[in-house]
Amino acid sequence: MTVLAGVGIYCFFALRYPYHIHFQEQCQLFESTWAYFASVSAVPGGFADWLGRFLTQFFYYAPAGALVMALLLCGVQLLTWAVCKKGSLLSYALSFIPSVLLLLFFCDESALAGGAVAIVLSLATAALCLLVRSDRVRHLLETVAVPVLYFLCGPVALAFVLAIIIREIGGTGAKVIPFSIMLRALLAVCPLIASLLTPYPLSRLYVGIHYYRYHNIVTGMLWLSVFSTAIPVIVSLLRTRGKGILPGAAAYVLIAAAGILMLFRTADFPKEEWMRYDFMVRMQMWNRIMMAADTRNPDNPKTVSCLNLALAKTGRMPDAQFSYFQNGPYGLIPGFRGDYTNPVSTGEIYWHLGMVNTAQRFAFEAQEALPDFQKSARCYKRLAETNIVNGDIEVARKYLGALCNATFYRKWARETLALLDDGTIFEKRPELARARDCRLREHDFLFSDTEMDSMLGLLKVENASNSMALDYLMSWCLLRKDLDRFVECIPLVDAPAMPKSYQEALLLRWVLTHSDYNGLPSYISIANVRRMSEFLSDLQAKKSSEFIQKNYGDTYWFYYYFRYLSENDLSRDEKNTSGPDSGPYSGGL
């Protein structure tokens, strides 16, 4: 049963939920230093949190992360069984309940591994104490273990207290009731003592500090898992002679079926899809993004922005952009939002465009917005790169020094430091050289995503080789349905043949401003003229939108007439549209 559960958990995280694994890793920076250990473990539950962060660093590779999750959850199940009185297959089957609840808990990307580690430590301590035969010695160990576990694991040490009380009462009855009351009182007093020694409010010390990324949220599923550890222990005491396999097998099947059903209702697969695209952008897997989009056309604004970046990086944006779903200009470059997710992926766009200072600001804002106040390995790496490009070498060394203490970033950071010392950083790191060459040098400006066309135009004018800036400029005008501005920018296009979407946009504007096709520019193909005529005929015949989409869904005309562009897409909230992007290497107007 345990092996089957472990294989199922591994397959779920490795095959269906791997990008939640990657997302967890990028939201922390685990440093292998004594100072980092001391700072994390200095609060109640800090040791379990440190172990959770240690395990989370292996989420850099999804198969390793899935294996860690499977071992953690199977460990909770086996340890729950270890504190039961043996002899009942039913209690063995019921010991899976805490693991199932933890599995549902970890479907949330804000759930931290420290919670599961705390349960493992608490149950392991209970199992070891129960091995001691001497009542006096065992009670002494159990009494000492309560405050120690509270300091190491936080209030989840309640799992230890529940297991010990139930087993002691089940073994010797009313004689240990005073002892059980004392254990509960001892656990209740621990937060009161901790409040005198730590800066955390008493409410946080009672519900836990490091189990969930948002500290003001009580993690109900985690606490259900803690309380459910008592169920199999109680059943094992009531059915000490139960030898039949039918009740246990039935309970196992029922728990497995309910767990699978609840798992697929709890898992956030749309968010997993966005995390998948964001991961591929992070790893610059542009062709994989195109393959994923060809398999299933993305329709989420975040995934659409990742797709558009891949289109630009592969040179396919002018010809193929409207073959995919587009949801307006902020599906091209999303506006700034003060959280820890959106600025990371949006900052990738600015980085590849050459707006280095904006990419740096977005990375810094995303890191500072992490609700559990950790540092982000991904953001640290980007901040090191932006400071190198901007010439702030000493600042870059600060970030690289921290990354040297991180297992999966150590090699890159040390190599980068060596290249900085040698002065060959731009020769050996072409992506940094490209960012240096594409960035603006001569202008300071206040960043505003409502004037993106001006900033993109300046990027192109000052750096003629920045073809991506031109692609984004033309796409910005098209997605805003601003054909007049699009026509003004056409002289910037220098291509052997006018791209497909540009021809369609120019042809549409011609039809809107002329009575016939006489004088049409020669670079607009006859095939596009013929197809435009067919589109207008079908439009005037009031053909259904399904018919129009089937026949013209890959054209700019379909986007122009059938994709709604709300006022909110064209006017952003003032507090989200501007921010400083100044300095000797910043760009814009």
Q: What is the token pair recorded at 43?
A: 């609060």
- From residue 34, alpha-carbon distances to 16, 40, 90, 385, 425 in Å are 36, 10, 45, 27, 31
Those residues with Cβ within 8 angstroms of residue 197's Cβ, 6 or more apart along the chain or in another chain:
none
- Contact between 95 and 77 under an 8 Å Cβ cutoff? The reply is yes
Which H helix or E strand runs over 576? helix 574-577
Backbone angles phi, psi at 448, to 5 degrees: -145, 120
Gap between the Cα atoms of 581 and 561, Å rounded: 36
Residue found by looking up tokens 């700072």 in the block = 39
Gap between the Cα atoms of 8 and 414, Å rounded: 39
pLDDT number for residue 573: 37
Gap between the Cα atoms of 175 and 91, Å rounded: 25
Those residues with Cβ within 8 angstroms of residue 81's Cβ, 6 or more apart along the chain or in another chain:
91, 92, 95, 232
Those residues with Cβ within 8 angstroms of residue 394's Cβ, 6 or more apart along the chain or in another chain:
none
Residue type, 122: S
For residue 209, which of 68, 76, 112, 125 has the smallest C-alpha distance?
112
Which H helix or E strand runs over 116? helix 114-130
Alpha-carbon torsion 226, 232, 233, 238, what sign? positive
Q: What is the token pair recorded at 543?
A: 């053909």
- Contact between 490 and 506 under an 8 Å Cβ cutoff? The reply is yes
Q: What is the token pair recorded at 533?
A: 């005529």
pLDDT number for residue 127: 94
Those residues with Cβ within 8 angstroms of residue 272's Cβ, 6 or more apart along the chain or in another chain:
16, 17, 19, 20
Angle, CA of 408, 413 and 414, to the nearest 5°: 110
pLDDT number for residue 467: 92
For the chain, the domains span 2-267, 328-480+565-589, 501-562
Those residues with Cβ within 8 angstroms of residue 307's Cβ, 6 or more apart along the chain or in another chain:
277, 289, 290, 293, 298, 324
For 445, the 3-state DSSP assignment is: strand
pLDDT number for residue 199: 87
- Contact between 317 and 471 under an 8 Å Cβ cutoff? The reply is yes
pLDDT number for residue 174: 58
What is the block-wise mean pLDDT of the chain (589 residues), using blocks of 10 residues?
95 96 95 96 95 97 96 96 85 94 96 96 94 88 92 94 86 68 85 89 90 89 95 82 75 94 94 95 96 92 94 95 92 86 92 93 94 94 96 96 96 96 94 89 67 88 89 95 93 87 94 88 90 92 90 94 62 36 27
Using only C-alpha atoms, what is the Rg of the chain? 30
List, in sequence order, the alpha helices (H) in 324-368: 342-353, 356-368
| Beta-carbon-side half-sphere exposure of residue 429 (alpha carbons within 13 Å) | 21
